[in-house]
Amino acid sequence: MEKYVINGGVKLRGEVVISGAKNAAVAILPATILANGPCIIENIPNISDVSVIIKILSEMGADIRVINKNTLEIDTTHITLPEVPYEKARQMRASSYFLGALLGRFRESKVALPGGCDFGVRPIDQHIKCFKALGAECDLQFGMIQLKAKELNGTHLYFDVVTVGGTINAMLASVLANGQTIIENAAKEPHIVDLANFLNSMGADIMGAGTDVIKIRGVKTLHGTSYSIIPDQIEAGTYMVAAAASQGDVLIKNIIPKHLESITSKLEKIGVTVIEYDDSIRVIGNRPLLKANIKTMPHPGFPTDMQPQISVLLCLCEGTSIVTEGIWDNRFKYVDELRRLGADISVDGRVAIIEGIKKFTSAPVKATDLRAGAALVIAALAAEGETVIEDIYHIERGYEDIVLKLRRLGADIKKIVTPDSVLEQVL
């Protein structure tokens, strides 16, 4: 068992360097399947979700050479079976990207229904709608989705909801299709643009990524490339909120300030000082902080993946704040854990009402998903006393070296690993 032990009350100070974006990496790595030659990918975050993708590629027969901790050379030329091993696929949401990438290259794919963080129902009907529109037949049997197409032909597609995963799969499945595909009501997140830039660097013809309408002209082949993944907007936002909650003064480096605008503007509204530079941002936590209302929206709105973290900060603001979750049905599960630390939050469906408190107090808590776990870490850093956080594997799915990075900022955080054999003797 692994847990974090955090002694709160330290004001975070110093510099932190942001890693590559998880949600770009988990799309770009499967996209290497479409390349006719090796790809060198830099700035890959060293996190467990990425390790799962790399293991899947390796088990499928890709040649993977480690150049350094964050750079890999991936050659998928020798993959012959368009099928993803069942157990690994169901561990994460992004395994669905193998459906699009394998379909694009082999005109068929077989992947288990994806897993991932549990925020209620997570359908993939829009992905399937897109594959079918391109000409694939879709079958679901024994927990596996199977796609088969005689040929893939460009199509005009309108997504019923703005979907990040659906937009990514649509790009993966159509870059090698015949003719032009138009995706309307496309997602506009920075990782959508990053995937399009990666595919274009392999010879794809994608225009409009980052707007509502993406146009993809199919090409015959894609070649290998060298590419560096963008910095992680959500990791950066998490450290911004941690700096603010701990009343610290932190320079967050290797970021794209434009990607953080919705977070920056909310922090400023609350009373936090944010100073932007070309590729870094300084956050100074002040008191008192003022209440704010936040609704999560698709990009460029306030990101749902920052909702638990900003809610922790709103707990420390004076007055009553209202947080409305605009993307997921059930993303307030962590509130029960936050209440153990003294939060005063009531939840009604997709709305949370947060009453400001003076400070958090410590207690043993459990991470319920990735960003919920990050939120608990922030609360623990700002709390009085020692907080123990269990189920930290959720956090390590998406934050590279979080303990090391926080320790360098002065935080009193330790990771305790108890070998299973010791636990068995005790239990």
Q: Which residues are catalytic?
A: 117
Nearest to ligand EPZ of 140, 290 (CB atom): 140
Answer yes or no whether residue 166 interacts with ligand EPZ by CB under 6 A.
yes
Is the CB of 10 or the CB of 395 nearer to ligand EPZ? 395
Phi and psi for 355 in degrees, rounded to 5?
-95, 130
117 is a site residue for ligand EPZ (CB under 6 A): yes
Instruction: Note whether 127 binds ligand EPZ by CB under 6 A.
Output: yes
Q: Minimum distance between the CB of residue 386 and ligand EPZ, rounded to whole angstroms?
A: 27
Q: Where are the beta strands (DSSP E) in 254-376?
A: 273-276, 280-284, 293-295, 320-324, 344-348, 351-355, 364-366
Which is nearer to ligand EPZ, 127 or 405 (by Cβ)? 127
Stretch of residues binding ligand EPZ (CB under 6 A), selected from 18-26, 32-40, 224-232, 274-282: 18-26
Question: Of 20-28, 145-153, 225-233, 242-250, which segment contacts ligand EPZ by CB under 6 A?
Answer: 20-28
Decide whether 47 or 102 has the Cβ nearer to ligand EPZ. Answer: 47
Q: For ligand EPZ, which stretch binds (CB under 6 A), given 61-69, 123-131, 213-221, 310-318?
A: 123-131
Burial degree of 176 (CB within 10 A; 0-12, 13-18, 19+): buried
Spatial CA neighbour of 245 closest among 10, 1, 2: 10
Query: Which x/- pattern over 364-403 shows residues binding ligand EPZ (rule: CB under 6 A)?
Result: ------xx--------------------------x-----
- d(C-alpha 194, C-alpha 231), whole Å: 10
Alpha-carbon distance 188 to 167, whole Å?
Answer: 9
CB of 292 vs ligand EPZ, minimal distance in Å: 20
Determine how β-strand 364-366 pairs with β-strand 386-390: parallel
Q: What's the distance, Cα to Cα, between the start and end of the chain in Å?
A: 13
Whether the CB-CB separation of 304 and 296 falls below 8 Å is answered with yes
Per-position DSSP letters for 9-59, written without gaps between them: -PPPEEEEE--B-HHHHHHHHHHGGG-SS-EEEES---SHHHHHHHHHHHH
Whose tokens are 């911004």? That residue is 240
- Residue of 181, 225, 247, 304 that binds ligand EPZ (CB under 6 A): 304
Q: Does 259 bind ligand EPZ (CB under 6 A)?
A: no
30 binding ligand EPZ? (CB under 6 A)? no
Query: Position 5: which residue type?
Result: V
Is residue 94 involved in binding ligand EPZ (CB under 6 A)? yes
Q: Is 123 in the site for ligand EPZ (CB under 6 A)?
A: yes
One-letter amino acid of 144: M
Residue of closest CB approach to ligand EPZ: 165
Q: Which residues form the interface with ligand EPZ (CB under 6 A)?
A: 22-23, 26, 93-94, 117, 122-127, 161, 163-166, 187, 304-305, 327-328, 370-371, 398
